[in-house]
Amino acid sequence: MMGPSHWRYLIFLLFVTAILPACRVDPDDDPVIIVTTPPEFSVDLYERRDPVDGTPLFGLWVESMVDYDCAGYGIDATVAVENNRIRVTLLGVLPPSPCTGDAAPAKQFLPIGKLPDGVYEFSLSLRDAILNEGTLTIANGRYILVLPDQLGIDFQNLVLEHLPDGVIWGYAGVPDELSEPVADEFIFDLKTITGEPGLAPGFYSYFTVSGTGNATFHKSIAPAGVSEQFLRRLTTPPDALESLLQGYRSATQQPLQIRCWTTAGEL
């Protein structure tokens, strides 16, 4: 006669024998494969201003995630807009000729066009291998892209705010210590003919405004060296701004390298 301990051991063996077949992997079953695709490009919704008259043009700012041999590499892509469908295909990069300068990412603005308010089907493909699909909603100059699954790309700004008229932004380069007080003086004088921009937090293509009102320039215009940056709203006639810029740019001593964009064009 078996004691209680023997019965428990026998029951354990029967239980293990019963569950073992369920734990086996059938060699004929297809394995589950999880595919992850590292981003090849970073992408932003972007509204570029015409340098002559400031006319806005909607599109995408695209940059490669890796640096190439030199600056000047572009993006090879196709853009198609048909009714309420937008299709963008990134094909690769385009080398410059000649190839000079330091290593840099490939970058380019891909124009899509002036689109009326509405909801659009949106797709962004990498060659013919990866397809990202979503919707783009445009209302009162504001763009909102919904892209549930992002493969092969890093979409950094999916919401683009409308930039009202009269806003100016830019920077004065500070190449050395002697130029620093001159740049400070320029910013002081600029404030006498401009006011606070009064922009709500958000992304405005050329810059992002934080919740505290601070502005960070987009990589498409961010200066490489030290600079005094500004984001203001013009409160005087444009002639006053043009005169101020000309005075500091043409100064005999310590002339400033100033870039100034406005919603009416670049000055």
Decide the pairing of beta strands 265-266 and 56-68: unpaired
Residue 14 lies in a domain: no
* CA nearest to 37, candidates 131, 133, 123, 107: 131
- Max Cα separation, the chain? 113
What range does the domain containing 110 cover?
Answer: 41-160
Residue with tokens 């690769």: 92
Considering the chain, what is the average pLDDT of its residues?
87
**In DSSP terms, which residues pair with 88 in a beta bridge?**
79, 124
Distance of CA 185 to the CA centre of its chain: 32
User: How many structural domains are present in the chain?
Assistant: 2
CB 104 within 8 A of CB 116: no
Using a cut of 0.95, tell me whether the model's pTM lies above it: no
Does residue 95 sit in the same domain as residue 125? yes
Cα–Cα nearest to 208, from 192, 224, 231:
231
Distances (CA, A) of 34 to 31, 37, 187: 10, 10, 54
Tokens at 72, concatenated: 């000047």
Tell me the per-residue pLDDT of 125-139, one tens digit each, with 9 for 90 and over. 998 889 999 999 999
Indicate the residue among 124, 142, 160 that finishes a domain: 160
Residue 11: inside a domain, yes or no? no
Q: Examine the domain organization and report whether 175 and 153 are in the same domain.
A: no
| pLDDT tens digits in sequence order for the chain, 267 residues long | 444 444 454 444 444 444 444 444 444 554 443 445 678 999 999 999 999 999 999 999 999 999 999 999 999 999 999 989 999 999 999 999 899 989 999 999 999 999 999 999 999 999 888 999 999 999 998 999 999 988 899 999 999 999 999 999 999 999 888 889 999 999 999 999 999 999 999 999 999 999 888 999 999 999 988 999 999 999 999 999 999 999 999 988 889 999 999 999 999
1 part of a folded domain: no
Residue 39, SS3 per DSSP? coil
